[in-house]
Homo-oligomer: A and B are copies of this chain.
């Protein structure tokens, strides 16, 4: 069988129709070039060039072979480039898990940044709750997850990627929605829609801790998993709720969002709501490294 180096020799001669000039082009001398082309012809069992001591011309078989030879050389370079780009993380594919809520704000902004910075990487998205993401990571179904606390999975690496405050969600016309901001104490004895302690434990605990910190005891009228469901119940007048600021991107008619007032010392609502990226430390996918490098850009 022939080699790519034979093809380079043949292509140079076929294009120059002169062994001397082709040899110069290939940085070798004319005798080895003559021999290399002869080796190619022998390997193929076909005469590719007709030559006298003065004239070099392609045979019909040579005419057939020349475009194929050029194509092989081009494809070889392309294959090398593709391998290099994959190795460097410029090209490849990553499977990313995300929670519904992270899809409201962080994820869209991250995807935008990621596509701009790494257009050659294919991002495969899978929505699932945090617990399922850990299972999928362990099973290799996803390579990185966007999850809520709390987790204590030592076998995964993690990185905090975003924090945001909780806001009050109240129906239009609700007394608490009239003010520009709301004191936590005002939530005492208020009907409130809160999170499921099972399917949304992180948010359940967060809300409970926040209210307890102010000595407020809301009247929890419903426990729900999804934020968009919570907003629906708020609109229906069942009560108020505390939701992450990103929920504002849902633009729910009939529901107003108000910051929580703080004591005079701190000045701004604490960013209590955390979002973490998690992955297997042994993952060697270069595109994952590329992705992880871009996470801090969107915080």
A contact set with B: CB distance below 8 Å:
1-5, 43-48, 50, 59-65, 68-69, 71-72, 75-76, 78-80, 82-87, 91-92, 284-287
A288 and chain B: residue at smallest CB distance: B60
A87-B60 in contact (CB<8A): yes
Of chain B, the residue at the smallest CB distance from A76 is B72
Please tell me if the beta carbons of B84 and A61 are within 8 angstroms of each other in the complex: yes
* Cβ-defined contact, A60 with B284, below 8 A: yes
Q: Chain A binding site: helix, strand, loop or mixed by DSSP? A: helix
CB neighbours of A84 from chain B (8 A): 44-46, 61
**Identical chains in the assembly:** 2
Q: How far, in whole Å, are A79 and B47 apart by their CA atoms in the complex?
A: 14
Shortest distance from the beta carbon of A69 to any chain B beta carbon, whole Å: 7
CB distance from A153 to the nearest CB of B (A): 24
Extra contacts besides A45-B84, A68-B78 (19): CB < 8 Å: A1-B76, A3-B3, A44-B80, A44-B84, A46-B87, A60-B284, A61-B83, A61-B86, A62-B83, A64-B82, A64-B83, A64-B85, A64-B91, A64-B92, A65-B86, A68-B75, A68-B83, A72-B72, A75-B75
B285 touches A60 (CB 8 A): yes
Q: In whole angstroms, how far apart are the Cα atoms of A258 and B202 in the complex?
A: 105
Q: Return the chain B residue nearest A64 by Cβ.
A: B86
Q: What is the minimal beta-carbon distance from A143 to any residue of chain B, in angstroms?
A: 11
Given A46-B87, A60-B92, A75-B71, the answer on whether A80 and B286 have CB atoms closer than 8 Å is: no
Nearest residue (CB) in B for A46 is: B87
Within 8 Å by CB of A47, from B63, B78, B87, lies: B87
Residues on the B chain within 8 Å of A80, using CB: 1-2, 43-44
26 contacts between A and B (CB under 8 A): A1-B4, A1-B5, A1-B80, A3-B3, A44-B80, A45-B84, A46-B83, A60-B284, A60-B285, A60-B287, A61-B286, A64-B82, A64-B85, A64-B86, A64-B91, A64-B92, A65-B79, A65-B82, A68-B78, A68-B83, A69-B79, A71-B75, A72-B72, A72-B75, A72-B79, A75-B75
Asked if B75 and A61 make an inter-chain contact with CB atoms under 8 angstroms apart, the answer reads: no
- Cβ 8 A contact of A83, one of B3, B4, B65: B65
Measured in the bound complex, the distance between the Cα atoms of B76 and A59 in whole Å is 19
**A64 contacts across to B, CB distance below 8 A:** 82-83, 85-86, 91-92
Which of A1, A62, A286: most chain B Cβ within 10 A? A1
- Measured CA separation A86–B1 after assembly (Å): 18
